[in-house]
């Protein structure tokens, strides 16, 4: 097996397993809360979706720290590792109180904003959930930063174990706390179990050889400068995630124009697709870390890493597209879909294959851009793709869910083409720079 491919697979599969564990815990959480009624399900669903949006904030310091620690590790510079870690914690300390305290104080307006037109009980239940979950966002943010530091150090297995620990505890504690306290019990269970995992993660940081060595090294830059570097590195990644989340929400509104049946089919199909798309994002994280390690060592192997990342993720995308097309009727039946919803869902799953394959390639190649400092380029491409996708989806929605699939595929084609052209131009510029350096040395 190609050395780059072997390293990508080694880094990616623990990330994928941790993502799967989170999804499984979320599903089981919903099952337990559903016993409290529809209003409780709506409240918890909206509250957890709010947390997904706030994940974009966490990515500023978590992903930024991952890349900077990976660069420093590749350069074998303990002082730079220490500076990157300090910058991550400093940015976390600056951002987290604003989100946690501000969210707690604004929990009632927030609940009315997201559930204003729903069941009369749902906003009140969401307020109860937010009263626990928003102060507890500090634990969630810290957990993401710990994971980011470990990943930057080249350890993706420990974050996987921490995710399995947290979500395993949630599965065990959920029924007891939900039975005792209702909807707030679900939030309390999540915060408590994440706290246990956070303590384990902080201990793992102290045991990591690279981080232990860095802790005694002389820091490469002041904390304020390190904070700004983390912010500059992580902000484009956070913005990319936020743009995609926002685009996905608008797309749901466009699908809603097709009627309740189409929305239900789309919702089920999209949940199933997460199993594949999470694999693409795990390859992206692996490509980002591996590229940063290589760049930190003074090597420029972006082209080789990018080809292997696209190969690995593309193979997963092709396999997923085939399985979804073949198993679509059984998948919809497993979710208890009625005949009309099942019909639309099967159509969507059988039409979405080209989009999945293109998305697999784009997401994987994006990791190389993130790891080499090209996240702003990736953000611009994502903005362009979203700007193309939404009008296309609106224009083609007259074709039903097949039109939505076509819009997704066409917009992703634009994004893949733009990223590929930019990668070629960067590679050509890099070769020219190498040639100039060689000539200067020869002279």
pLDDT per position as a tens digit, 180-221: 998 899 999 999 999 999 999 999 999 999 999 998 888 878
Residues above pLDDT 70, as percent of the chain: 90
Are residues 228 and 275 located together in one domain of the fold? no
Please tell me the pTM assigned to this model. Answer: 0.83
Which pair of structure tokens corresponds to residue 112?
A: 């009315």
* Helix (H) / strand (E) containing 335: none
Sequence-ordered strand ranges (E) for 287-343: none
Among the listed ranges 228-232, 233-237, 325-329, 433-437, which one has the minimum average pLDDT value?
433-437
Q: Is the pLDDT of residue 383 over 80?
A: yes
Residue at which a domain ends, from 218, 233, 248: 233
- The answer to whether residue 78 sits within a structural domain is yes
| Tens-place pLDDT, residues 24-74 | 666 666 677 877 877 787 777 777 767 777 888 888 999 999 999 999 998
Residue 230's nearest CA partner among 67, 109, 7, 370 is 67
pLDDT of residue 265: 82
Are residues 264 and 227 located together in one domain of the fold? no
Are residues 220 and 274 located together in one domain of the fold? no
pLDDT of residue 434: 47
d(CA 348, CA 309): 27
Sequence-ordered strand ranges (E) for 228-272: none
Three-state DSSP class for 209?
helix
Are residues 54 and 162 located together in one domain of the fold? yes
| Tens-place pLDDT, residues 412-435 | 999 999 888 887 776 665 555 544
Q: How far is CA 255 from CA 75, 378, 402, in A?
A: 48, 27, 11
Residue 202 CB-half CA count within 13 A:
9
Residues above pLDDT 90, as percent of the chain: 41
d(CA 219, CA 208): 18
Q: What is the CA radius of gyration of the chain?
A: 22
Helix axes 157-181, 183-207, angle to 10 degrees: 160
Note down the domain range covering 366. Answer: 258-438
pLDDT of residue 61: 93
Q: Average pLDDT, whole number, for the chain? A: 85
Residue at which a domain ends, from 194, 218, 233: 233
Among the listed ranges 17-21, 44-48, 311-315, 363-367, which one has the minimum average pLDDT value?
44-48
- The answer to whether residue 420 sits within a structural domain is yes
Are residues 67 and 183 located together in one domain of the fold? yes
pLDDT of residue 146: 96
Are residues 205 and 336 located together in one domain of the fold? no
Report yes or no: 385 and 412 within 8 Å, Cβ to Cβ: yes
pLDDT of residue 299: 66
Neighbours of 409 (CB within 10 A): 20
Instruction: Encode 307-320: b = buried (16+ Cβ within 10 Å), e = exposed.
Output: bbbbbbbbebbeeb
- The answer to whether residue 245 sits within a structural domain is no
Residue 346's nearest CA partner among 266, 260, 277 is 266
Q: How far is CA 87 from CA 228, 342, 365, in A?
A: 8, 50, 27
Residue at which a domain ends, from 198, 217, 233: 233
Q: Is 263 left (phi over 0), alpha (psi -120 to 50) or beta?
A: alpha
pLDDT of residue 185: 93
Q: Rounded to the nearest 10 degrees, how much is the dihedral formed by the CA atoms of 381, 383, 384, 387?
A: 160
| Tens-place pLDDT, residues 290-333 | 888 887 666 667 788 888 899 999 999 999 999 999 998 988 88
Are residues 371 and 313 located together in one domain of the fold? yes
Q: Is the pLDDT of residue 143 over 90?
A: yes
- The answer to whether residue 240 sits within a structural domain is no
Are residues 224 and 295 located together in one domain of the fold? no
Higher pLDDT, 378 or 208: 208
- The answer to whether residue 241 sits within a structural domain is no
- The answer to whether residue 243 sits within a structural domain is no
Q: Phi and psi at residue 75, in whole multiples of 5°?
A: -85, -5
Report yes or no: 65 and 227 within 8 Å, Cβ to Cβ: no
Q: Is the pLDDT of residue 440 over 80?
A: no
Are residues 196 and 291 located together in one domain of the fold? no
Which pair of structure tokens corresponds to residue 335?
A: 């979710």
Are residues 191 and 76 located together in one domain of the fold? yes
- The answer to whether residue 242 sits within a structural domain is no
Are residues 22 and 155 located together in one domain of the fold? yes
Q: Indicate the burial class of 437 (C-beta count within 10 angstroms; 0-12, 13-18, 19 or more).
A: exposed
Are residues 214 and 284 located together in one domain of the fold? no
Q: Is 219 left (phi over 0), alpha (psi -120 to 50) or beta?
A: beta
Highest mean pLDDT among 44-48, 82-86, 335-339: 82-86
Q: How many domains would you assign to the chain?
A: 2
Higher pLDDT, 83 or 420: 83
| Tens-place pLDDT, residues 240-292 | 888 887 788 788 778 878 887 887 788 778 878 888 888 999 999 889 888 88
Residue 61's nearest CA partner among 281, 230, 239 is 230
Report yes or no: 377 and 294 within 8 Å, Cβ to Cβ: no
Q: What is the DSSP letter of 156?
A: -
- The answer to whether residue 344 sits within a structural domain is yes
d(CA 378, CA 365): 10
Q: What is the DSSP letter of 374?
A: -
């Amino acid at each position: 097996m190609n050395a780059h491919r072997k390293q990508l697979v080694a880094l990616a599969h623990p990330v994928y397993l941790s993502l799967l564990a989170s999804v499984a815990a979320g599903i089981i959480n919903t099952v337990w809360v559903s016993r409290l009624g529809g209003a409780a399900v709506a409240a918890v669903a909206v509250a957890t979706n709010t947390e997904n949006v706030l994940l974009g904030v966490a990515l500023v310091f978590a992903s930024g720290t991952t890349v900077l620690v990976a660069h420093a590790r590749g350069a074998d510079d303990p002082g730079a590792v220490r500076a990157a870690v300090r910058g991550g914690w400093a940015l976390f300390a600056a951002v987290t109180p604003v989100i946690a305290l501000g969210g707690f104080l604004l929990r009632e307006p927030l609940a009315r904003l997201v559930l204003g037109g729903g069941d009369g009980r749902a906003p009140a239940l969401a307020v109860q959930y937010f009263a626990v979950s928003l102060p507890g966002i500090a634990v969630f943010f810290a957990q993401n930063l710990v994971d980011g530091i470990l990943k930057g150090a080249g350890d993706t297995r420990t974050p996987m174990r921490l995710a399995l620990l947290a979500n395993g505890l949630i599965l065990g504690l959920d029924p007891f706390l939900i039975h005792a306290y209702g909807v707030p019990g679900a939030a309390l269970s999540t915060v408590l179990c994440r706290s246990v995992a956070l303590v384990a993660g902080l201990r793992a940081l102290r045991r990591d050889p690279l981080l232990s060595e860095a802790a005694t090294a002389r820091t490469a830059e002041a904390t304020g400068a390190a904070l700004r570097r983390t912010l500059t590195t992580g902000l484009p990644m956070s913005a990319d995630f936020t743009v995609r989340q926002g685009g996905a929400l608008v797309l749901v509104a466009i699908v809603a124009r097709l009627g309740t049946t189409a929305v239900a089919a789309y919702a089920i199909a999209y949940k199933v697709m997460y199993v594949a798309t999470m694999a693409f994002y795990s390859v992206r994280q692996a490509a980002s870390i591996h590229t940063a390690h290589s760049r930190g060592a003074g090597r420029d192997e972006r082209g080789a890493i990018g080809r292997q990342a696209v190969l690995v993720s593309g193979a997963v995308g092709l396999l997923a597209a085939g399985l979804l097309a073949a198993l679509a009727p059984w998948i919809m039946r497993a979710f208890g879909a009625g005949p009309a919803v099942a019909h639309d869902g099967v159509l969507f799953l059988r039409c979405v294959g080209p989009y999945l394959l293109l998305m697999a390639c784009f997401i994987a190649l994006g990791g190389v851009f993130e790891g080499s400092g090209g996240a702003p380029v990736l953000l611009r491409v994502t903005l362009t793709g979203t700007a193309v996708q939404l009008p296309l989806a609106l224009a083609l929605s007259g074709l039903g869910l097949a039109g939505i699939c076509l819009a997704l595929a066409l917009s992703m084609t634009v994004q893949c083409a733009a990223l590929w052209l930019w990668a070629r131009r960067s590679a050509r510029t890099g070769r020219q720079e190498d040639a100039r350096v060689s000539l200067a040395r020869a002279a």
